[in-house]
């Protein structure tokens, strides 16, 4: 039976949720939180410390609007996760905004921001960003406002560590934007926008495996990810088409970004930097390249916001030939392992981090047991990894074993149309 069929069976012919679905959702909601509402983050954390077995809320963003052609999702889904076995239980769809393919939660836990990966916001040529307040007792979302992302096809957003700004990367528009967070959690008009200009890299990646046809991203500049460093002092964004990782200085008073010195570092021509992650020690920086299926390690100087290249290695097993597109990178909470997702090869690569040098060693891989892992996330306990298999219409879950060295499939497939990202409410 197809996963889509399972989803359809849970609904009546009129589109209403079935009696079974209602009962499951009601049970999940009842288990989520104590009966008294707690809106502040601190009380929620106390509840979980007193009861480590309490379910954890999760939001899943999906691609929408083209059922049967890659947009099978309905918007933002609310799930509860059992921290004992990693099982996800769907509660309901909490928003039907279009293609919320990336989301981030405010550091204080009261607001969720979702980009809308479109290019026709309000009849124009940009995408948009939706701001929501979170009911921490039920997980419900209340839409606060929607603003332009300042570029077509936004692909990534993040919230600054101090919660003052939301940063957006527009893949289609090749641009970035800084959006101020208002006191009520809504978003203001952009304080800064920048269109990436300059030459793009070659079609063929320098470090691609033999026989690769991963040649999709070097027709123009494509901003793919944007995020501040852990201190919120410098902001970095990747441009896949230009093979650059930009470094910016954030002016907190104005919300302006100014180029750092140097303004960017480059990766090998055509390799296409996609996403990156800071090590918990704040001094190591890892970038995953979409077109080459590689991981690069840089030393990071938090005083100057500069990156110094140290190492490059493949995310694929030795001897691999053919086409693969990397997508996501995550680091274990203890900093001992870096994980990278391979699309088409459909695996999660596990790389060990040398505790003294930060250098990486490829040690294993696990099949995502699903098609085209758009992203993956490690849950707040650190015990489970969830892969959003975009073309497989399912999320698969893996237990993190051997202190992070091994990923073991839990046997759980969770049906979701065109899942793109999962974020947890902590």
pLDDT score recorded for residue 47: 58
**How far, in Å, CA of 396 to CA of 371, rounded?**
10
Which one-letter DSSP state was computed for residue 265? E
Q: Residue 8 belongs to what H/E stretch?
A: helix 3-9
Q: In what order do the strands lie in the sheet with 244-251?
A: 223-228, 234-239, 244-251, 256-266
Mean pLDDT value across residues 1-26: 36
Q: Where are the beta strands (DSSP E) in 318-383?
A: 325-331, 337-343, 347-353, 360-367, 373-378
pLDDT score recorded for residue 49: 63
**How far, in Å, CA of 149 to CA of 132, rounded?**
16
More confident: 41 or 144: 144
pLDDT exceeds cutoff 60 at 131: yes
Cα separations (Å) of 206 from 92, 156, 164, 210, 215? 45, 25, 39, 11, 11
pLDDT (tens digit, 9 = 90+) per residue, 86-111? 999 999 999 999 999 999 999 999 99
Question: Cis omega before residue 262 (within 30°)?
Answer: yes
pLDDT (tens digit, 9 = 90+) per residue, 372-417? 999 999 999 999 999 999 999 999 999 998 888 899 999 999 999 9
pLDDT exceeds cutoff 50 at 42: no
Task: List the one residue out of 261, 260, 267 whose CA is nearest residue 244.
Answer: 267
Which one-letter DSSP state was computed for residue 208? P
- For tokens 């550091």, name the residue: 107
Cα angle 244, 217, 348 (rounded to 5 degrees) comes to 85
């Amino acid at each position: 039976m197809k996963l889509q069929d399972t989803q359809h069976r849970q609904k009546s012919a009129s589109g209403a949720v079935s009696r079974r679905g209602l009962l499951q959702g009601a049970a999940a909601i009842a288990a989520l939180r104590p009966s008294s509402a707690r809106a502040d983050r601190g009380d929620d954390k106390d509840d979980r410390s007193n009861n480590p077995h309490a379910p954890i809320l999760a939001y899943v963003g999906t691609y929408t609007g083209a059922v049967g052609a890659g947009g099978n999702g309905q918007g933002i889904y609310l799930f509860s996760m059992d921290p004992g076995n990693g099982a996800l239980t769907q509660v309901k769809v909490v928003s039907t905004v279009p293609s919320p393919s990336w989301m981030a939660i405010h550091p204080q836990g009261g607001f969720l921001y979702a980009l809308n990966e479109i290019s026709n916001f309000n009849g124009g040529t940009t995408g948009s960003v939706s701001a929501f307040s979170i009911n921490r007792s039920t997980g419900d979302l209340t839409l606060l406002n929607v603003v332009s992302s300042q570029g077509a096809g936004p692909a990534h957003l993040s919230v600054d560590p101090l919660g003052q700004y939301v940063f957006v990367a527009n893949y289609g528009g090749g641009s970035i934007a800084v959006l101020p967070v208002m006191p009520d959690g809504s978003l203001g008009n952009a304080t800064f926008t920048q269109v990436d200009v300059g030459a793009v890299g070659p079609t063929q990646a320098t470090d691609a495996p033999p026989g690769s046809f991963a040649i999709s991203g070097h027709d123009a500049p494509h901003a793919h990810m944007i995020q501040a460093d852990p201190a919120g002092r410098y902001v970095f964004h990747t441009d896949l088409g230009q093979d650059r990782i930009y470094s910016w200085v954030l002016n907190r008073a104005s919300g302006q970004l100014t180029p750092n010195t140097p303004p960017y570092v480059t990766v090998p021509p055509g390799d296409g930097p996609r996403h990156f992650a800071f090590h918990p020690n704040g001094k190591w920086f890892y970038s995953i390249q979409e077109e080459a299926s590689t991981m690069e390690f840089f030393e990071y100087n938090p005083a100057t916001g500069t990156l110094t290249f140290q190492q490059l290695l493949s995310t694929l097993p030795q001897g691999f030939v053919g086409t693969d597109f990397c997508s996501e990178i995550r680091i274990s909470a203890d900093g001992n392992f870096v994980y990278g997702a391979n699309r088409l090869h459909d695996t999660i690569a596990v790389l060990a981090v040398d505790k003294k040098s930060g250098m990486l060693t490829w040690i294993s891989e696990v099949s995502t047991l699903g098609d085209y892992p758009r992203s993956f996330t490690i849950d707040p306990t650190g015990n489970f990894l969830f892969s959003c298999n975009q073309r497989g219409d399912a999320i698969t879950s893996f237990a993190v074993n051997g202190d992070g060295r091994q990923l073991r499939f839990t046997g759980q497939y969770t049906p979701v149309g065109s899942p793109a990202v999962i974020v947890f409410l902590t």
